[in-house]
Structure 1
Amino acid sequence: MTATVAPVRPAGRADEPAPPARPAARRRISVGRLLGWIGIVLLLVIEIVPLLWLLLSSLKGPAEFSTKPMWALPDGLHWQNYVDAWVRGNMDTYILNSALATFPAIALLIAVGVMAGFALEVLKWRGQNGVLLGFLVGLMVPTQMILLPLFTMYFHAQLLNNPLALILTYTATGLPLTVFMMAGYYRSVPREMIEAAVVDGASIYRVFWSITLPVLRNAIMTIAIVQFFFFWNDLLFALTFMGSNDSKTIQAGLLAFIGQYGQTEWGPTFASICISIVPTLLIYLVLNQKVMKGLTDGAVKG
């Protein structure tokens, strides 16, 4: 039997590069990333804690608001507050009035805003920049300045305590922002797509219905949801034009829980506030992906 000797490896040279270091077991968290996570947690706390406190307060009994701290947990679940808010507080009537004023206004606003944005951004005609500037000026008009003229007009037209007054007001006040946003979204539509359709013989109406509208579907949905939040939570116009109890919207109806000399039933009041935010919360939870997509559609020009 012959023995074999293992070959001896040559010694490394001094100028030979050192082997790469092994990756660390844990990635070191940078200071910027840590601050970012702390900011996100703070924002979540700011958003969630008030909602949680509102929900717990809506389940407290009448005596708990005067005998216990405001952050104390309820002794029991007083669901009677929601029954009182719905029955004695006429929440069903207020929600119906808000829906009758909000949804027709959104439909009219989107119809006019989509067509105006198409005319101002896609079509070429004399004076379009001046018209767009006029819509931008409408964004700078304070809401308080138009209350008295609108109230006078609606009084002579006998439109007070009528949902039509809110529909016209919401449409007029929301149109500048809608047109401005739609013009930006139309600017992101590839011009090659529109030019190809025109070369193929498509008319202006065909380009509008079959080319641009399908592309801007998420953007239109985003504008509709943003305006829905504004209209549903409106208090100023509702208090000005809706004086009777049967015509009040949900935000104006919440003031009905404040009794004489400032006496307030806090349990039903908090319950009614919880009821009022349910529609906006549900709509956002269902359509939040479309909202995020629509917000980024106009950011980069196609």
Structure 2
Amino acid sequence: MAFPEPRPQPDRLPQHLLRSLDCQQAAVRAVRFNADGNYLLTCGSDKSLKLWSVSRGTLLKTYSGHGYEVLDADGSYDNSHLCSCSADKTVILWDVASGQVIRKIRGHAGKVNCVRFNEESTVMLSGSIDGTVRCWDTRSRRMEPIQILDDAKDGVSSLSVVEHELLTGSVDGRVRRYDLRMGQLHVDYVASPITCVCFSQDGQCSLSSSLDSTVRLLDKSTGELLGQYTGHQNKDYKLDCCLSERDTHVLSCSEDGHVYCWDLVEGSLTLKLPVGKAVVQSLSFHPSEPLLLTATEGRVQIWGAEPEESDVAE
């Protein structure tokens, strides 16, 4: 006798505020989970990068070395290194434990909007207002990039890396996907400046947000539009979008102080999360759990699918 398969549990969305961090970095420009989701990074307009414990909400280390506000950061797969970029046109590779600068690179002609490691953390990729993506070897002391991608006709606003593929978003309204192994470039035209791009967890789709207040889901291989998500406000600021840890929901920051969450397949608005009165500048979804980070003004909030046990007891 065969027993029926258990019904899959409905996806839980992070809608309970677990803790709020006063980062003391003036405005928080970006917030990011590290590779395993145990730590978070905050980038501030006070020129600093900070590392925090997610479970305790405590500050672990402050990294200072940029000459102007820090705009983005990423952590290596083994949590030994960080990279960050700034409006001062520099990219910095950090040693996590010591907080020391390993390399400070001045290669871009304008502010650097985004930075990412490849999966092996052997290469840092940086995108700039100068319209280029530059690839830097993390294992050498060379100050020249190992590759320059200069196909964008305007500033590069966002990067995403999965295996040998690179996804970029540009103010020229185009999403570009580079197959670095095959040396191929695929371009999708959105017709509105791109503020954020990312791959889906399964690597089959790309997600992009743009200044027409629309988030779009595209088939990676064909460029077919699979879904459009609207209702939020994104007209003036560079805001983040992302997918949930199981690719079931699409999330976006909004200029009205909320995070919007849509069902990926149906396109219906599932959750409108009130974060604050100001623009929600940045967000990051945990790689394997229903946890969400949001940044607005000088604070970062950690949201979970269930309230903390102490809150339930009270």
What TM-score results when the alignment is normalised by the length of structure 2?
A: 0.21
If each structure's helix is expressed as a fraction of its own residues, which one has the higher value?
1
Task: Kindly indicate which of the two structures has a greater share of residues assigned to strand.
Answer: 2
Normalised TM-score (structure 1)? 0.21
Greater Rg, structure 1 or structure 2?
Answer: 1
